Structure 1
Amino acid sequence: MSDITQAPVTFGTGGDEPYARALRSDGRLRLTDPDRPDAEVTLDVGRWSAAADRVDRSLLDDVDGPVIDIGCGPGRMLVAARTLGIPALGVDVSADAVAIARRAGGRAVQGSVFDAVPEEGRWDTALVLDGNIGIGGDPTALLERCRDIVRVGGRVVVETHVDRTADRTYRARVIDTDGHESAEFPWAEVGLDALHGHAARAGLVARSSWTVAGRSFCELIA
């Protein structure tokens, strides 16, 4: 019997590695639920790879200290923070995403948010954007990690599902425009109403929420 432990499958990995392919081409991905084909979501990797837009930059307006971007992808928020003189670190499971973020001038490490991260407990603000509240398929557990990562009184800024009533976990797959498909991985979709419950269970307090340019956000306090 083998004693080798297989690494858990995470967003867009396994199979034909469509996330890595899309990062290299700024393509689009489809996030699918095998049990609900009608719930397919299109993900614009090109937007993640582009420079931070005005909505992205506005999320840094109230930052008073260092920022950690959970699931930083190719690093647009890291570059935006650097431009503003804000210390920032990105964490992402994708080696390709981390490499792109570093080439752009961001500071990023490859790894899971559920493992130890540098300077844990000292970050002023944790960003959980672009649907990354779905990481791991357990929003309460993810928010508990964010609570531990930021300082006492620190902020967790979460981008929520546009449907404030959304609250589901499922086994997802990612497929690119050429049909390359990932292995299944745990994921979640969380709207504002459900986020309040997950946050309370994680020991976080919701302070404010807002919608701008079709995107919805909530600020939580540790």
Structure 2
Amino acid sequence: MSTAVPAWAAADSYTAALRAGRGPLFLRREDGWLLPLEVERWCARADAADLDVLDRCEGTVLDVGCGPGRLVAELARRGRAALGIDVSEAAVGHAVRLGGQALRRSVFEPLPGEGRWGTVLLMDGNVGIGGDPRRLLDRVTRLLRPGGLLIAETAPVDVDERAHVRVVDAPGTRAAGAPFPWARVGTPALLRHARGWEPAGRWAADGRSFVALRGRSASSRAEPPKSTAVISSQRAGKPSGDSPVASR
């Protein structure tokens, strides 16, 4: 069943920021607290910290919440099989124009290659998607192949919080649409939530924090469900062979 696209994904402020390649843009909690969003970095080419993450990826790569697509575009330049997913049409369009493969889809909807991805990425705070890290980790387990790798970017402070937020382009701006659930999770909290995962590394670069987790082996997980979804922002052909990524 399809998941409703959050109102912020089509918000004028978010779309305008992606098109311009710059902010300001914030997540605003209902108590007024603001989290700046790094639009300029997201719209630029992959930086040194990003490249280090991509060097650690194994097999086919699924970038959850790919945004404007700097990571899937870099993986495409490397000849790696990769797919980005994002709920924002503007973000998916930007990723495709950069040369990456991308699909407008929520991580909680059916996806291509379920149970066969070698690596799942949760970058740029996307471990907060849905406001429930344990639920998200459980979903990622079903996306990865047995023993697959999750690389998550965590908050650079020790935090574990849930909130409802809105996207705004200035502190006093009235945000359109309903608030949506989000989480901020530091490395210690993510490791607490990652029951059943094997820690596979943690590191910091350029003020950013990362964790690698190894998924369950074939002997300790149920058979993953098969997905009939295909890549479409430009609806693509069905995946074939061992690769979960359809060719355009």
Asked whether the two chains share a fold, i.e. TM above 0.5, the reply is yes
Say whether 1:140 aligns with 2:134.
yes
Say whether 1:209 aligns with 2:202.
yes
Indicate the structure with greater strand content: 1
Which AA in structure 2 matches 1:154?
Answer: G
Partner of 1:24: 19
Partner of 1:48: 42
Deviation at residue 197 of structure 1 after TM alignment: 1.4
- What runs of 5+ residues in structure 1 fail to find an aligned partner? none
Distance 1:153 1:103, change over 3 A: same
Instruction: Report the Cα distance in structure 2 between the residues aligned to 1:44 and 1:6, rounded to whole angstroms.
Output: 26
Deviation at residue 24 of structure 1 after TM alignment: 1.3
Deviation at residue 8 of structure 1 after TM alignment: 5.3
Q: Deviations over 1:180-202 (max 9, x none)?
A: 624311100000111011111xx
Partner of 1:70: 64
- What runs of 5+ residues in structure 2 fail to find an aligned partner? 216-248
Partner of 2:75: 81
Moved more, 21-30 or 52-61: 21-30
Give me the identity figure in percent. 42
Instruction: Report the Cα distance in structure 1 between the residues aligned to 2:41 and 2:68, rounded to whole angstroms.
Output: 10
Residue in structure 2 matching 1:199, options 194, 199, 204: 194
Aligned residues: CA RMSD: 1.8
Residues 18 and 180 of structure 1 are in contact (CA less than 8 Å); yes or no, is this contact kept in structure 2?
A: no
Deviation at residue 6 of structure 1 after TM alignment: 9.2
Residues 30 and 175 of structure 1 are in contact (CA less than 8 Å); yes or no, is this contact kept in structure 2?
A: yes
Residue in structure 2 matching 1:102, options 96, 102, 109: 96
Instruction: Report the Cα distance in structure 1 between the residues aligned to 2:27 and 2:115, rounded to whole angstroms.
Output: 32
Distance 1:30 1:124, change over 3 A: same
Q: Deviations over 1:127-164 (max 9, x none)?
A: 0000101111111111111111111110000000000x
Distance 1:137 1:6, change over 3 A: closer
Paired residues, number: 211
Moved more, 89-98 or 17-26: 17-26
Q: TM-score of the superposition, structure 1-length normalised?
A: 0.89
Instruction: Report the Cα distance in structure 2 between the residues aligned to 1:156 and 1:117, rounded to whole angstroms.
Output: 17
Instruction: Report the Cα distance in structure 2 between the residues aligned to 1:8 and 1:137, rounded to whole angstroms.
Output: 15
Runs of 4+ that moved beyond 4 A: none
